[in-house]
């Protein structure tokens, strides 16, 4: 992989942490499509990618020595890997999201990496209130009843602070990534709906931003290209990344269920009651050391009831980002893929 020509983006090697995941794999596909040398850091091998010439490095984010060493030879690092979720010990999230990101930054500096594109999250600006059409001027969260947002906020801040003459950095905040083969968002909704546990929280009119996985991958590639420009406006900045059109969350959920022939969600619970249930569940899980995730948490209650949609003007301007897959097209594609999967499982 040492034959890359300096400054030639079609040949420059790239590293993708979390490159076997939902978003990371899409980014790897884009890089391979450019004919670039690619290597991936992940916990689980991907023989199909290795068969296509991808170099696989098996490592966990907590293995900081391996993470630093993996950056050797790369000109761009896409740091996509993270510990996600809404429940668990703060220390687990801190080690993966903060210490792991520090190792990536250190590896970039030690090995002369030119660019670092960091996958952050809009949850870094969580404040427990409605967020409607907000831009990147919102402050980072300082109080959150879930360890994921504050640890990602620390990681994002450190990535942006690392921007300088030797290393150009940018952070992207894709929100509610969805699409075919999504292992998290849509499967979770369908499981909860089919079990009868899903309830509309609050008034049911809250709007949220989402981003199709292909649009999110586009934004990452666009961000790398933006960092190549002399005096790049994107360097040292964070950007929200969405499909550009907020949806009414519960209308979206029920449209998905209807397309799959499932009954709609009609039962509801006030936000205050859901928040109280979440607090009680969290207390029970901590005190009794129960396994798995509580059926409700305070963070989830707020996310299901509040507005959280974002302005992507800055990403359009500085990155040249434009959502390529429309929500209508994406929904049709998702439903078709879920029907195929259902027939295959039957």
- Please indicate, yes or no, if residue 200 is contained in any of the structural domains: no
Residues 186, 255 contacting (CB under 8 angstroms): no
Distance CA 186, CA 281 (A): 23
**What's residue 143's pLDDT?**
87
- Please indicate, yes or no, if residue 266 is contained in any of the structural domains: no
Task: Quote the DSSP letter at residue 98.
Answer: I
Q: How far is CA 303 from CA 117, 271, 277, 298, in A?
A: 26, 10, 14, 9
**What's residue 2's pLDDT?**
37
Distance CA 304, CA 179 (A): 20
**What's residue 45's pLDDT?**
87
- Please indicate, yes or no, if residue 285 is contained in any of the structural domains: no
Tally of domains within the chain: 1
Distance CA 197, CA 152 (A): 29
**What's residue 3's pLDDT?**
40
**What's residue 10's pLDDT?**
59
Q: Which residues contact 283 (CB under 8 A, 6 or more apart)?
A: none
Return the active site residues.
Answer: 148
- Please indicate, yes or no, if residue 337 is contained in any of the structural domains: no
- Please indicate, yes or no, if residue 75 is contained in any of the structural domains: yes
Each of the 346 residues of the chain gets a pLDDT tens digit; together they read: 334 444 556 589 999 999 999 999 999 999 999 999 999 999 988 999 999 999 999 999 999 999 999 999 999 999 999 999 999 999 999 999 999 999 999 999 999 999 999 999 999 999 999 999 999 999 999 889 999 999 999 999 999 999 999 999 999 999 999 999 999 899 999 999 999 999 999 999 999 999 999 999 999 999 999 999 999 999 999 999 999 999 999 999 999 999 999 999 999 999 999 999 999 999 999 999 999 899 999 999 999 999 999 999 999 999 999 999 998 999 999 999 999 888 887 6
Angle CA 36–42–48, to nearest 5: 60
- Please indicate, yes or no, if residue 65 is contained in any of the structural domains: yes
Mode of pairing for the β-strands spanning 115-119 and 76-79: parallel
- Give SS3 for 138: coil
**What's residue 9's pLDDT?**
60
**What's residue 222's pLDDT?**
97
- Please indicate, yes or no, if residue 262 is contained in any of the structural domains: no
Range of the domain at 34: 14-177+210-242+308-324
**What's residue 345's pLDDT?**
78
What CATH number does the domain containing 86 carry?
Answer: 3.40.50.720
- Please indicate, yes or no, if residue 182 is contained in any of the structural domains: no
């Amino acid at each position: 992989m040492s034959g890359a020509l300096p400054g030639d983006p079609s040949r420059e090697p790239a590293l993708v942490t979390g490159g076997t995941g939902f978003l990371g794999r899409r980014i790897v596909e884009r890089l391979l499509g450019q004919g670039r040398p690619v290597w991936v850091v992940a916990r689980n091998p991907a023989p199909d990618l290795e068969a296509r010439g991808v170099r696989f490095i098996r490592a966990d984010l907590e293995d900081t020595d391996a993470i630093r060493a993996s950056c050797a030879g790369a000109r761009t690092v896409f740091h996509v890997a993270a510990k996600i979720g809404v429940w668990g010990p703060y220390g687990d999230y801190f080690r993966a999201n903060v210490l792991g990101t520090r190792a990536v930054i250190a590896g970039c500096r030690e090995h002369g990496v030119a660019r670092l594109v960091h996958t952050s999250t809009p949850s870094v600006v969580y404040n427990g209130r409605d967020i409607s059409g907000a831009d990147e001027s919102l402050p980072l969260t300082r109080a959150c009843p879930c360890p994921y947002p504050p640890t990602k906020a620390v990681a994002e801040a450190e990535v942006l602070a690392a921007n300088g003459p030797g290393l150009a950095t940018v952070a992207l905040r894709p929100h509610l990534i969805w699409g075919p083969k999504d292992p998290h968002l849509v499967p979770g909704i369908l499981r909860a709906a089919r079990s009868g546990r899903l309830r509309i929280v609050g008034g049911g009119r809250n709007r949220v931003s989402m981003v199709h996985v292909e649009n999110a991958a586009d934004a990452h590639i666009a961000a790398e290209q933006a960092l190549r420009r002399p005096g790049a406006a994107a360097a040292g900045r964070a950007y929200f990344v969405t499909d550009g059109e907020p949806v009414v969350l519960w209308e979206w959920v029920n449209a998905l269920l209807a397309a799959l022939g499932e009954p709609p969600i009609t039962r509801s619970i006030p936000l205050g009651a859901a928040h109280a249930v979440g607090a009680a569940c969290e207390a029970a899980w901590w005190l009794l050391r129960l396994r798995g995730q509580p059926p409700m948490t305070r963070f989830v209650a707020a996310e299901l009831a509040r507005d959280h949609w974002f302005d992507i003007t800055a990403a359009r301007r500085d990155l040249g980002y434009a959502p390529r897959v429309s929500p209508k097209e994406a929904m049709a594609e998702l439903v078709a893929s879920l029907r195929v999967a259902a027939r295959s499982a039957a």
